[in-house]
Amino acid sequence: MTETLIQVDNLKKYFPITGGILQRVVGNVKAVDGVSFHINKGESFGLVGESGCGKSTIGRTLLRLNDKTEGKVLFKGEDIHSYSKEKLRSMRPKMQIVFQDPYSSLNPRIKVGEAIGEALLDHGLVSPRDVKQRVLETMRICGLADYQYDRYPHEFSGGQRQRIGIARALIMNPEFIVADEPVSALDVSIQAQIINLLSDLQREKNLTYLFISHDLSVVEHLCNRVGVMYLGSMVELADTEELFSHPLHPYTKALMSAIPIPDPTLKRERIILKGDIPSPANPPSGCKFHTRCPIAADICKQANPEYREVRKGHFVACHFA
Amino acid sequence: MAKDLVEFKNLETHFHTSAGIVKAVDDVSFTIREGETLCVVGESGCGKSVTAMSLMRLVEMPPGRHAGGEILFEGKDLLKLSKREMSRIRGNEIAMIFQEPMSSLNPVLTIGEQITEPLALHLLLDRKAAKKRAIELITLVGIPRAEEIFHSYPHELSGGMRQRIMIAIALSCDPKLLIADEPTTALDVTIQAQILDLMRDIKRKLNTSIMLITHDLGVVAEMADFVVVMYAGKVIEEAPVLEIFKDPQHPYTKGLLKAKPIINEKKERLYSIPGQVPNPVDLGDNCHFHDRCEFCMDICRTKLPPLRVHGDHNHKTACWLYEEEGKAQ
């Protein structure tokens, strides 16, 4: 029986825009605008979309690194946004995050071994005597060598720094990890190493991932279910296989056809979207995608399409799907 | 067969650092032909950008130094030209676009001022003619409302639009060669598709040669006529695009092709090349890939493999697996 670990209901996160001498709120950037989904225990849920679609904001709001504007985020059935500071802190080890650029999340003056063990000590989960042992164990799991304990972040390559980032999250023994573009800054040969590490860890530790990426091919490889976002809304969500074999939303189709495939003999029908992504501060009326949609009709300008289940587990928000 | 436009001959560009000499470009030779798109692929630090910067003579010296070799552009050695002669070629005959269009555009000048500048400088157009040409160029790169964009500032445009403007500036003097250094890496996929489409279109219309630097094999497959693969400052394989994807020879090229997850081809586990790119300081005279290679032999650790034709006549590989000395082992 699958157990729901995270439940998100109609989540909204607006960032206010201030202006004028009095810095009054003159508008809102609707980074996340009414998104609902759930993540089962032990699965990896992929969130894809282009820059500014709100995927990272969702990741941060799920961990309560941001406050929400509206809606609900339940972790194991409990609303973490209603927790007190102390209670939230005691929850923190269970939910960890891995960032895109591990260098900017490491203090250049702290030895890597200490940086990995820091949070354990802070939370009092291990005695100062045993911390080094735990750090070394975790470093080995993440493919780092013992002698690297005393090294500083600048002595590591990008791929190794990402291993450090993963070790820092992993040492807390979390149940849920938000991985925010963890391989986007890495070279192809290193990217494959990190992807394999993430999937090994998931299998061994029964971890649950929210995997945020703009790269559909990485998401397809790693995730069980995938949600596609555009301008703060979820436009399509389905099992990975279903989504990649039967994409329904025109945006999903366009995203897939835009990915360059390393096969020069392949002839494809390319859907090249016109124009740019509109500003999330002033999104288009009706369906937010209508300004770039190849099949947009009058109804798309007027009415926001309902986000509905068209097949079992396959949700889409489009008038023509 | 098309004429040779640029010929790199045993180019050596070194950097003198406190840690030692970094041979960023180490004995690199290849040719860009007229009307051809040549892709240089490789991972960070393999020397692909420094090769392009050497061609433009934009490598800062010191710490950089030309340690040898020639770059022939239509038969002339660019490395021997005076500064003045070089600046006539730069922008006029060879133009370059970069990864981050925002940092290549001046934030305090309007788009119009920046497009007309090279037109006035290189083609000696007067203001009115320059403006007319600028509007044409903006339209050519697929931006509607050219007149309005002419008067806007870079920050008012999106990333994709800025890259289009960079392409317009690069094309302003009708160059024979366009160097594009990771032009779509900072862009979203749907915008990347637009820019790649635009570059293909331009090549078809203007017959410009393109030297495209990228780390993305997908982009290579879509754009290239000819491919050069670099690793640790060296060319390790070069071949026409169909050939390199059909029959890659070097273990590194093979590994790169296998390591990339491909949409709609789900694998249980990705192939990964173990280890990491070697420290570029004081590399030995051996195959630089040897410590990551699953076929490593004794000779690979001690001797540098030559870049030679194996199989098809313009498919060259630098690997001992294909040499008699290597086969003997």
List of domains in chain A: 4-104+174-316 (3.40.50.300)
Return the closest-CA partner of residue A187 out of A160, A153, A148, A221: A160
Q: Is A20 in the B-facing interface, judged by CB distances under 8 Å?
A: no
In this prediction, residue B313 carries a pLDDT of 77
Q: Is the distance from CB of A122 to CB of A90 less than 8 angstroms? A: no
**Residue numbers of B between 158 and 197 with CB closer than 8 Å to A:** 158, 160-161, 188-194, 196-197
In chain B, residues with a C-beta closer than 8 Å to the C-beta of A188 are 43, 215, 217, 256, 259-260
Mean pLDDT over residues B230-234, rounded? 92
> In a 3-state reduction of DSSP, which class is residue B226?
strand
Size of interface A-B (CB pairs under 8 A): 127
Rounded to the nearest 10°, the torsion over CA A309, A314, A317, A321 is -90
Q: Is the CB of residue A257 less than 8 Å from the CB of residue A243? A: no
Alpha-carbon distance of B185 to A259, in angstroms, equals 12
Whether residue B82 is predicted with pLDDT greater than 60 in this model: the reply is yes
What is the pLDDT confidence band of residue A114, given thresholds at 50, 70 and 90? very high
Percent of chain B clearing pLDDT 90 (strictly above) = 38
Can you give the pLDDT at residue B329? Answer: 63
Greater confidence, B326 or A195?
Answer: A195
How do residues B97-107 score in pLDDT, each as one tens digit? Answer: 988 877 888 99
Q: Check residue B64 and give its pLDDT.
A: 86
Q: Does the complex come out with an ipTM higher than 0.95?
A: no
Residues 6+ apart with CB under 8 A from B205: none
Residue B264 has a pLDDT of 78
Instruction: Tell me what the pLDDT averaged over chain B comes to.
Output: 88
The model's confidence at residue A46, banded by pLDDT at 50, 70 and 90, is very high
Please tell me the distance from the alpha carbon of residue A297 to that of residue B274, in angstroms, as a whole number.
51
Q: What is the pLDDT of residues A170-199, one digit of tens each?
A: 999 999 999 998 888 788 888 888 899 999
Backbone angles phi, psi at B130, to 5 degrees: -65, -40
The SS3 call for residue B70 is strand
State the average pLDDT over residues A102-122: 89
Please identify which residue in the block is written with the tokens 């289009």.
Answer: B164
Say if the Cβ atoms of A190 and B217 lie within 8 Å.
Answer: no
Q: Which residue from B191, B261, B277 is facing A218, i.e. has the nearest CB?
A: B261
Determine the length of chain A: 321
Percentage of chain B exceeding pLDDT 70: 98
pLDDT computed for residue B71 by the predictor:
93
**Confidence tier at B194 by pLDDT (50, 70, 90):** confident
Give the closest-approach CA distance of B182 to chain A in angstroms.
13
Distance from CA of B70 to the nearest CA of A (A): 30
User: Which chain B positions have a beta carbon within 8 Å of A221's beta carbon?
Assistant: 261, 266-267, 270
Say whether B267 and A221 touch across the interface (CB within 8 A).
yes
Distance from CA of A158 to the nearest CA of B (A): 10
Judge whether A237 and A315 are in contact, CB under 8 Å.
yes
Q: Which of A49-63, A111-125, B188-202, B258-272 has the lowest mean pLDDT?
A: B258-272
Rounded distance, CA A187 to CA A205, Å? 27
What's the 3-state SS for A215-249?
CHHHHHHHCCEEEEEECCEEEEEEEHHHHHHCCCC
**Per-residue pLDDT at A219:** 92
CB neighbours (10 Å) of residue B73? 19
**What's the confidence (pLDDT) of residue A137?**
92
Residues in chain A closer than 8 A to B220 (CB atoms): 262
Residue-range domain boundaries for chain B: 4-93+173-328
Question: What pLDDT sits at residue B328?
Answer: 66
Residues of chain A with pLDDT > 70, as a percent, come to: 100
Q: Do A221 and B245 count as a contact with CB atoms less than 8 A apart?
A: no
The verdict on A223 touching B (C-beta cutoff 8 Å) is: no
CATH number of B4-93+173-328: 3.40.50.300
Contact call for A196 and B269, based on CB within 8 A: yes
In B, which residues are within 8 Å of A158 by CB distance? 44
Residue in chain A nearest B219 by alpha carbon = A260
Closest CA to B284 of B307, B303, B308, B298: B303
B2-44 pLDDT per residue, tens: 788 999 999 999 998 888 888 899 999 999 999 999 999 988 8
Nearest to A177 by CA among A245, A242, A96: A96
For residue A270, which residues of chain B lie inside 8 Å, CB to CB? 193, 197
DSSP tag of B167: H
Q: Contact A195/B196, CB-based, under 8 Å? A: no
Using CA atoms, how far residue A164 sits from A18, A115, A188, A246, B275, in Å, is 38, 9, 19, 38, 16
Model confidence over A216-273: pLDDT tens digits? 888 999 999 999 999 999 999 999 999 999 999 999 999 988 888 888 888 777 888 8
- Alpha-carbon distance of B203 to B210, in angstroms, equals 8
Integer-rounded Cα Rg, in Å, for chain A is: 21
- Decide if pLDDT at B326 tops 80: no
Smallest Cβ distance to A244: which of B257, B264, B271?
Answer: B264
In this structure, what DSSP letter does residue B3 have?
P
Name chain B contacts of A272, Cβ cutoff 8 Å. Answer: 190, 193-194, 197
Q: What is the mean pLDDT of residues A6-32?
A: 88
Put simply, the answer to whether A217 touches B219 (Cβ < 8 Å) is: no
Nearest chain A Cα distance for residue B84, angstroms: 38
For range A6-21, the mean pLDDT: 89
Confidence (pLDDT) at A235: 95
Residue B1: the pLDDT is 59
Question: What average pLDDT does this structure show over A61-66?
Answer: 91
Residue A130 has pLDDT above 60, yes or no: yes
A 10 A CB-CB count for B63 gives: 12
Q: Using a CB-CB distance cutoff of 8 angstroms, which residues of chain A are in contact with residue B221?
A: 260-264, 266
Q: Is A267 on the interface with B (CB under 8 A)?
A: no
Q: What is the mean pLDDT of residues A199-207?
A: 91
Q: Do A189 and B272 touch (CB under 8 A)?
A: yes
Per-residue pLDDT, B21: 87
Q: Residue A1 has what pLDDT?
A: 55
Give the pLDDT of residue B177. Answer: 93
Minimal CA separation from B149 to chain A, in Å? 14
Name the percent of chain A lying above pLDDT 90. Answer: 55
Contact between chains at A192 and B262 (C-beta distance less than 8 A): no
Is the pLDDT score of B325 beyond 80?
no
pLDDT tens sequence across B288-301: 999 899 898 888 99
Res A93 pLDDT > 80: yes
Hey, are the CB atoms on B220 and A262 less than 8 Å from each other?
A: yes
* Chain B residues within an 8 Å CB radius of A214: 188-189
Interface mutation target, options B164, B190, B266, chain A, most CBs of A under 10 Å = B190
pLDDT single digits (tens) B125-166: 888 989 999 998 998 888 888 888 899 999 888 888 888 898
